[in-house]
Amino acid sequence: MKLEEIRTALAADLAEATNEAALAVVKARYLGKDGVVTNLRRNVDFSAMTPDERKGFGLAFNELRSLAESELDAVQARLSAAAQPAPAGFDYTLPADDRRLGSIHPIIATQLEIEDIFRSMGFSVFAGDEAVSEFENFDALNIPGDHPARDMQDTFWLENGMVLRTHTSSMQNRAMRQLGVPLRAIFPGRCFRNEALDITHENTFYQLEGLLIDRDVSVANLIAVMRDFLAAVFRRDIEVRLRPGFFPFVEPGFELDFRTTLGGVRRWVELMPCGMVHPQVLRNAGVDPDVYSGFAFGLGLTRLAMLRHGVPDVRLFNKADLRFCQQFPASF
């Protein structure tokens, strides 16, 4: 055999050697006492060669032998690595320790997501008092003194004359005064209404109020901001529409619907009350309505959490029942 042929044949044999026994056979075939490589040298008649030929053969032979050795070693190493190591002494397939993560309350988890979206849209986030003056909750918002919302059956009144805020709109006045205008901010938080409990009514719930005040803010701006926000919430393009709605602190006031498919039918679903901030509300906060305009919107965080998680009964949120709360894995 010529040197080149041996080299090719070795490569082919090594490729087929998939275990250590097969490799031993290959090794014997080439480097053994009666191996191809060994015999090559044994069968050469050096006497018939010139010194230069002898030297040339010697170099080529050595090269072939060391190549064969190193390739055999490499295959040997690969096969040894694939072999089973000593037992670890434990079951590698057991579950991770402490595998149950805690959870963030589903309303708060919803709030976190909404906050992130509004922050990305240039809104700041502020909390506010939950027990507020009658002024902040009603008068500042242009809600007349004889408005039904002020009745005892709708509002929790406190012995000191304050109220438990019935909506996060109670933050509007304070926010405009303390933060000034122009202003883009949201105010998430707990609200209270004195109503009888059933599967859709709670006396304790969360809302998120938003306010954008600047020069020349228009209805067209409101629609765009609401649409873009909802697209981020639902992670798809959203079709929205406004229709007339009435709230004393906005003029005009709107109900914002979004289009979705429910039970196989495309329909409009009412989601957020909103509107252009009433000039009296601006004036009440020391903002000149001839210079500034803006819009406000309200989002029911509790309701959104119900939609998001398929919670059938609003009363589950305040029960501190672990069977409920721990169902919602913590979110980043």
Query: What residues from 250 to 289 belong to the interface with other proteins (CB under 8 A)?
Result: 251-255, 276, 278-279
- Told to check if 199 binds other proteins by CB under 8 A, we report no
Region from 29-37, 50-58, 218-226, 229-237 binding other proteins, contact rule CB under 8 A: 218-226
Q: Could you tell me the smallest distance in angstroms from the CB atom of residue 231 to other proteins?
A: 11
Single out the residue of 168, 161, 153 nearest to residue 133, CA to CA.
Answer: 161
Within 159-198, the residues that bind other proteins by CB under 8 A are: 159-160, 162, 164, 179, 182, 184-185, 190, 192, 194
Within 15-54, the residues that bind other proteins by CB under 8 A are: none
CA Rg value for the chain = 39
Distances (CA, A) of 4 to 11, 42, 43, 71, 326: 11, 18, 17, 15, 71
The Cα angle at residue 53 between residues 52 and 58, in degrees rounded to 5: 100
DSSP assignment string, 54-109: HHHHHHHHHHHHHHHHHHHHHHHHHHHHHS--S--SS-TTSPPTT----B--HHHH
3-state secondary structure of 150: helix
Single out the residue of 298, 209, 307 nearest to residue 260, CA to CA.
Answer: 307
CA 107 – CA 119 distance, rounded (Å): 18
Residue 37 or 276: which CB sits closer to other proteins?
276
End-to-end CA distance of the chain: 69
- Told to check if 95 binds other proteins by CB under 8 A, we report no
- Told to check if 62 binds other proteins by CB under 8 A, we report no
Q: Could you tell me the smallest distance in angstroms from the CB atom of residue 140 to other proteins?
A: 17
Region from 24-32, 33-41, 62-70, 100-108 binding other proteins, contact rule CB under 8 A: 100-108
- Candidate residues 31, 49, 223, 231; the one interacting with other proteins per rule CB under 8 A: 223
- Candidate residues 115, 139, 232, 308; the one interacting with other proteins per rule CB under 8 A: 115
Residue 85 or 161: which CB sits closer to other proteins?
161
- Told to check if 89 binds other proteins by CB under 8 A, we report no
- Candidate residues 241, 259, 267, 283; the one interacting with other proteins per rule CB under 8 A: 241
Amino acid identity at 23 = L
- Told to check if 322 binds other proteins by CB under 8 A, we report yes
Q: Could you tell me the smallest distance in angstroms from the CB atom of residue 321 to other proteins?
A: 7
Residue 30 or 123: which CB sits closer to other proteins?
123
Region from 1-9, 45-53, 59-67, 115-123 binding other proteins, contact rule CB under 8 A: 115-123
CA 50 – CA 46 distance, rounded (Å): 8
- Candidate residues 69, 129, 139, 313; the one interacting with other proteins per rule CB under 8 A: 129
Residue 9 or 325: which CB sits closer to other proteins?
325
Q: Could you tell me the smallest distance in angstroms from the CB atom of residue 79 to other proteins?
A: 44
- Told to check if 204 binds other proteins by CB under 8 A, we report yes
- Told to check if 231 binds other proteins by CB under 8 A, we report no
Single out the residue of 214, 217, 219, 237 nearest to residue 227, CA to CA.
Answer: 237
Within 299-318, the residues that bind other proteins by CB under 8 A are: 317-318
Region from 35-43, 49-57, 80-88, 323-331 binding other proteins, contact rule CB under 8 A: 323-331
For residue 43, give the DSSP letter.
T
H or E segment and range at residue 144: none
118, burial (CB in 10 Å: exposed 0-12, middle 13-18, buried 19+): buried
CB 101 within 8 A of CB 329: yes
3-state secondary structure of 332: coil
